[in-house]
Amino acid sequence: MTHLPHDRYCDEITHQAEQFRALLKAPGADLSATVPTCPDWTLEQLTRHLGGALRWIELMVRTRAQEQVPEERVPLGGGPQERGDLAALDAWFAESAAAVVAALREAGPDAQVWSWAGVFTAGFWARRVTHEITVHRADAALTVGVPYEVAADVAADAIDEWLDIVTFVQRHEPHDAAAELRGGGRSLHLHATDAPGLDAEWVIELAEAGVEWRRGHERATVALRGPLTQVLLAFYRRVPLESGDLEVVGEREVLDFWLERATFG
């Protein structure tokens, strides 16, 4: 599956970071509010998690790390010392995003860098950062209570990447829940109803050898239909299947089975 261009990922990281920062300063935003999709975190903890991830990746890409760098070695990886200080948190997050984009642009997509998913390039990390921040921006938007949208090409690539990750985890983490996603001739069809020119449909087969997927329109055991952004959020378990304009056709339990087990590991 073709990925987006490296510069497109870098541009989108900058764009998503700006939108994330705007949510922190939106009317009614509260850093102490619980994130409904990540209930163990407040909005401030979500921001620190995301900014820390950006700094960790920046360090690895900039130094061309060939093995995993412990997070405790990342300068200011935990965020500013002050708690509840919006200005300090916002400045730290802005610096984190700018630094990772600069490192990714300087490295280019083919620079060799360690990763946990079998693709050892800076290009892997550009894609991963794009979708990490895109989905966590949804968490922040749901916390603040404002509408959320994402560009169609980014949303579609986020679904592609999620499927790539689940497939990798299933084959390399055999004791993970994702290992159960196989056999029985079951299949899923994701159908974005508002992006016909983008080929925004996916077929996912739970084959005996493991998950197999492709873009396409085919009959499946269960189908999830709706606007692309809503399909993305439901597939990432950010919104319930009953929300918005989503429609489930066929054996709902197969989709529930997938959502319960599709994981990073």
Residues 6 or more apart from 46 whose CB is under 8 A from it?
35, 38, 136, 139, 140, 143
**Per residue in 112-170, pLDDT tens?**
999 999 999 999 999 999 999 999 999 999 999 999 999 999 999 999 999 999 999 88
Long-range contacts of 248-251 (CB under 8 A, 24+ apart): 248/222, 248/223, 248/224, 249/222, 249/223, 249/225, 250/220, 250/221, 250/222, 250/223, 251/186, 251/221, 251/222
Domains of the chain: 6-144 (1.20.120.450), 152-261 (3.30.1050.10)
pLDDT, residue 146, reads 96
Contact of 149 with 136, CB cutoff 8 Å = no
In this prediction the pTM is 0.94
Contacts for 126 with CB less than 8 Å, ≥ 6 apart = 6, 9, 10, 13, 104, 109
**Residue-wise DSSP of 71-129:** GGGSTTTT--SSSS-HHHHHHHHHHHHHHHHHHHHHH-TT-B---SSS--BHHHHHHHH
Largest Cα span, the chain: 54
At residue 1, the pLDDT reads 52
pLDDT at 224: 98
Contact assessment for residue 202 and residue 187, using Cβ atoms and an 8 Å cutoff: no
Could you tell me the mean pLDDT of each successive run of 10 residues in the chain, 265 residues long?
A: 89 98 96 96 98 98 97 95 96 98 98 95 98 98 96 96 92 81 92 87 94 94 97 95 92 96 73
Q: Which two tokens stand for residue 161?
A: 């990447």
pLDDT at position 68: 96
Tell me which amino acid residue 117 is: A
Residue type, position 110, single letter: D
Assign 13 to helix, strand or coil: helix
Which one, of 239, 236, 36, lies nearest residue 134 by Cα? 236
Instruction: Count CB-CB contacts under 10 A for residue 182.
Output: 16
d(CA 180, CA 133): 28
Q: How far apart are CA 161 and CA 130, in angstroms?
A: 10
Q: E strands, 98-221, where?
A: 187-192, 201-207, 210-215
